[in-house]
Amino acid sequence: MAEVVMQCVAAGLDGGADECRPFLSGLSLPTPLRPLPLLPPPYSHYYGFLVTPLFLFAISLLALSLLASHKLSRTPIRRLGCVGVRGRRHFSWNEAATGDCGGGICDWWIFGGSVWIRAFLVFWDTMISGLGDGGGHESDSGGGENVFACFGIAKGAPASHGRWKSERPRGSLGILGYDTILGAHGPLVLAPLRASVLILAWISICSFMAMTHKELVRWMANVDQMSTTSCGENIIVLALHTVRGIQSTMNTGKDFFDDTHSNVLLSTIVYASVVIATAELSLYALGIAFTKLRIYVPKGVSNPGGPRPRKILRMPKWKEGKIHFLPKNLLSGDDGDANSRQWRCAVAHDAHRDTDSKFGRTLSQHLNEVSALTGEPFGRQIWTTLVAQPLTRKGETEDDLEAVLMKEFPIAPAKLQNGASYASEGSSGQNKTEIFNQPAVIGSFLQNFLNPDKQAQSKVRQSNRANDDRNKLIQVLSSGGRSPLAFDPSRNPNSCDQLFRAQMIASYLEKSKGALPDDISYLLVNKPEGDAKNNLPKSAMETARRGIAFYSMLQTSDGHFAGDYGGPHFLLPGLVVAWYVMGRPSEMISPSQQALMMHYLMVHQQEDGGWGTHIESPSTMFGTVICYLAVRLLGGNKDEDWITKGREFIQKEGGAVMTSSWAKFWLCLVGCMDWKGHNSVPPEMWLLPNWFPFHPGRLWCHCRMVYLPMGYLYGSRFIYSHADTDPLIKELRKELYCKPYDSIKWDSTRHLVADMDNYSPIPVFMKFAQNCLSFYENWAVFRPFRDVARKTGLNFCLEYMKAEDLQTNYIDIGPVNKALNMVSAFHAANNDINDQAVRNHMMRVPDYLWVAEDGMKMQGYNGSQCWDTSFAIQAVWECGLLDEFPLMSAKVWAYLERSQILSTDTSRSSPAHQYESCDYRDKFYRHVSKGGWPFSTSAHGWPISDCTGEGLKGILALMDSRLVMGAVEKGILKGIEPTRLYDAVNVILTLQNEDGGWATYENNRGFGWYEKLNPSEVFGDIMIDYSYVECSMASLTALAEFHEKYPNHRTKEITFAIRRGAEFIKSIQREDGSWYGSWACCFCYGCWFGIEGLIKAGESHRSHAITKCCDFLLSQQRPNGGWGEDFTSCYDKDYAENGMQSYGDEGSGVVNTAWALLALSAAKCSDVAAIQKGVQYLMTRQLDCGDWPQEGISGVFNRACGITYTAYRNIFPIWALGRCSKLLGEDHSGIAVSGE
């Protein structure tokens, strides 16, 4: 070989030797790769590849696939099931790879070849055979639809129906073309789309090889013979091999194509088929190799990654020892209404009656007509000052239900004995929870507040001692170890929900005629002084019983458990801005509500004058600017010291131009910032074709539903109508900026943001895109197109917002888009505050407001009712005590039955039901809702995967209760048909992502690079619906528990979904063995979900993934036996070892400890001593009344924002104690030596 090469080199590669001819001739190409004579010579030399038959074939195939995505109808693919984002069946021979990888390269390139088999099955099963087995889809209408029916020529099809669209089947989730609900193409589109991409990739490779061949030949033709040393020979030999390899590769099958070269189309089709088959086999072999070697490149899009390089260093700080008490005049809530008394939490029909009354409907109208509010009433909770109005007509209200159930399951009469007093105010662990000084007025105030019934008050006054004892008991039970109604943020900025808990306990005592639950009845018994140790629980199960007994008193009349779901500071100001620009209607925010809101903002201000993004965050410009704006709009005097400090903080940090984009948006609405200072939010984006790679319909629904009204208001350039004449707005324009308002060059401020706000810095490409949009907004050349497109875009936004309002009964998905949708409706109604849609919006504002000892706040949702209630009943089930607390269990059953979305008569009669049709869901990008459970209420209307899973598990747990099932058989409780459970399973199955995990509300419709376009600055990972360990565990375990009770329903799909879910959970486990918790703080939470999911899926307790996680948890256990971390774990993506140092107990917290124990006990960790220490920690931290102290914030969302769950301090310790008691046994789960 070397001799031949050297001879050719010696001849300069221009001799006549046969051996040299392969180097002399140009590269011989097969017919499909030869340029067609369509371009003139100068262009054909450089762009010849653009006119090759193969390239034109690939482009045609690509265009055809995109056209087919619009034209092909969405027909039932019943034989393919509902597993996966694309509604298609996954095959067992690639399940491990699909579940493990989870990345785009694995799913699309390496293992996507199975799309050809899926496409064939689709074509055969649906379009030719027209088969359908129902498969548990939302619609079980008969099969038989096929390719002929699509064109209106099926047997029996009406003659007038000759177009594909006329016979488009309805009510199916299966897809052929592009499904906007799933944000994905069907197999019949994916197959040609994939083929075109593979062919284009091959053309690119061929083009590179041709250029390489040319350059190598030229180099060898000009090589200097004198330089052909031994090393030079080797290089030339290598070049020769490369040239021959290129020739061989590109001329594969050349002889065959030469024989058919006269038929260019046939040659191209055959050549393309060979290329595609070769590529698919090669990629699949590569994927198998990657799987065996456990190489996952890149990481799955849902992998949250490791620790952040930029960690939070600043800490919040409040003035030490400044205790705030709620003034009595604020709590009286007197707005001039004769029926107005103290604030109370009204639920369900009581809440509806209150709202109807507030908006001008009398009680008789409410009795004789349907409420002005639509949707299921159960679960609704609002704070009101109106006295409860009892119904004279009996119906299916929460009061009727509770009365019947209390008759069936009466409360045991353990009453306060004469001369007895409640047990000690302290707790077994209360030496670690300081008690503040208690004002003497609290007792009488609580009595007035908690007993609105005048007759009851007169009876109580007959016995001052009984009155004092009762008040004192309520204080102790509701205070959570703190001083009643006192709030000191320097000790803990989290409220402990004293007002709500005091109301519930007082209501319980009234209904039970002074009785307490048996397990805490010792509080009513005289004990010799110094005998407090006799009250200590002797075992974990006894501690759990006390916890359940206490928590059962907090259950509302409709069966749910309520609590403070506040925390973020940026929510309330948005509502205040909406209220202000709409003319400050008192029906929306009354004067007493304004005062309570002002109190909330005042007590949470930090020592530096600023406010955090949430209650435990250090001051940020985002929090400070938006809270300062709210304070001033609520009537705050700018000369007050605390307000002046807020203004100084803003100006010290550069003025409001340095705040984040969300705050700037509210400033623009109220007229305190020019719209040129905000980046464009074009509503025209909604007009893009659905398959466009960056369509807003592909965004995570919370992101999408916020930017929807933002786009409308930006496109309309909405500004408060009196902004230029309102004296307050003029003052704010001076106060918020460091230079005169009129001198600010607004366009230059669009990208400005303070470093303290910049959690997710906007990438350079996004800034470039925003600058391009700025040109689009301001250059006259774009105006003709912009005016036409914007009008259409605004109309679609209005239509979409109306659909969202009706689908959610005017609650909307969350508080931010609630306020924005309301302002949009106000603008669309020409600023008419009496427009019905605007009034419907205002009637739902109270759903988001909550009152606690720190004032009135806006919650992150309309509550966490279903979520907390589902967890609570599972905790009781884990303890095996469902039938020991039958009233609580029965009420939970009733609530969960009424909370299933679009599954009750009331919910099906609401406007939301019509939007469940396939066409509406397709138009407005909504996933299937029917059968799911919500985070809050049925009326909210948005099901979530983990909420559906936990709701389903709650129902399945209650099926183990003999007494609850007996009440169902007697007709006291409504039963739940199996078909409703099947609907829930269908929702869960359809929400499984392609990576095997589960996202929140929808499948992941977008791509990982969307996060590079995140415009929010203050939040992370908000652009698409990622798969999470929490959602995956909840969904997976729900399927597993359902399968245990209903083994014959969709067995293959369920078992396969569970396996894929487990593989996903393992794929996102961190190197240290932990899992990152995205919805709570943080690693203890994630570890519980990770271990629980794997164990339920059949993972061995001794597997590497389980033991590695156990080792991680054990390494984080603190000396006192507990675990503790705070929201900085989520923010930094790194375990906060001293996270609970400020608000917990020596660095530990009861909630984190409970999560860690749930994980370790599920794994049956071999370190029993560590579990025992954790159990003892929870037992010693329990208060005498059965409550646990409120510590640091438990929840988090979008990586950077904390949120409150006051119910967690009760639910999870009970759950952990119950499970550990079963694991350890009663003899080994208690506190040794009388609590010492």
Which residues belong to the active site?
Answer: 946
CB burial class (10 A; 0-12, 13-18, 19+) of residue 746? middle
End-to-end, the C-alpha distance of the chain in Å comes to 89
**Numbers of helices and strands, H then E, in the chain:** 48, 12
CA 906 – CA 912 distance, rounded (Å): 11
Instruction: Give the pairing type, strands 619-620 and 611-612.
Output: antiparallel
Report which residue type is found at 1036: L
Q: Phi and psi at residue 768, in whole multiples of 5°?
A: -60, -45
Q: By C-alpha distance, which of 1143, 1226, 1214 is closest to 1182? A: 1214
863: which 2 tokens?
A: 């509550």
1199: which 2 tokens?
A: 């990586």
CA 286 – CA 105 distance, rounded (Å): 11
Q: By C-alpha distance, which of 258, 222, 213, 205 is closest to 26? A: 213
857: which 2 tokens?
A: 């706040």
995: β partners? none
Confirm if 139 and 172 have CB atoms less than 8 A apart. Answer: yes
Q: At what angle do helices 641-652 and 621-633 cross, to 10 degrees?
A: 140
CA 943 – CA 936 distance, rounded (Å): 9
DSSP states of 956-998 as a string? HHHTT-HHHHHHHHHTSS----HHHHHHHHHHHHHTB-TTS-B
SS (H, E, C) 164-194: CCCCCCCCCCCCCCEECCCCEECHHHHHHHH
Residues 6+ apart with CB under 8 A from 1090: 1029, 1033, 1065, 1069, 1074, 1075, 1105, 1109, 1159
Bond preceding residue 298 cis, omega within 30 of 0? yes
1148: β partners? 1145
Q: Is the dihedral of CA 924, 930, 931, 935 positive or negative?
A: positive
Bond preceding residue 1082 cis, omega within 30 of 0? yes
Q: What angle do CA 411, 417, 418 make, to 5 degrees?
A: 145
Report which residue type is found at 912: A
CA 621 – CA 625 distance, rounded (Å): 6
Q: At what angle do helices 571-581 and 591-603 cross, to 10 degrees?
A: 140
Q: By C-alpha distance, which of 419, 301, 317, 510 is closest to 1023? A: 301
Residues 6+ apart with CB under 8 A from 943: 901, 927, 929, 931, 932, 933, 934, 987, 1001
Residues 6+ apart with CB under 8 A from 151: 162, 163, 164, 167
Alpha helices in 186-262 (DSSP H): 187-221, 230-250, 254-259
Output DSSP code: residue 1023: S
Q: By C-alpha distance, which of 324, 728, 612 is closest to 488? A: 324
Confirm if 821 and 810 have CB atoms less than 8 A apart. Answer: no
Q: What angle do CA 122, 124, 127 make, to 5 degrees?
A: 75
Q: By C-alpha distance, which of 157, 184, 180, 160 is closest to 169? A: 157
CA 545 – CA 1214 distance, rounded (Å): 8
Residues 6+ apart with CB under 8 A from 376: 898, 899, 904, 906, 907, 910, 937, 938, 939
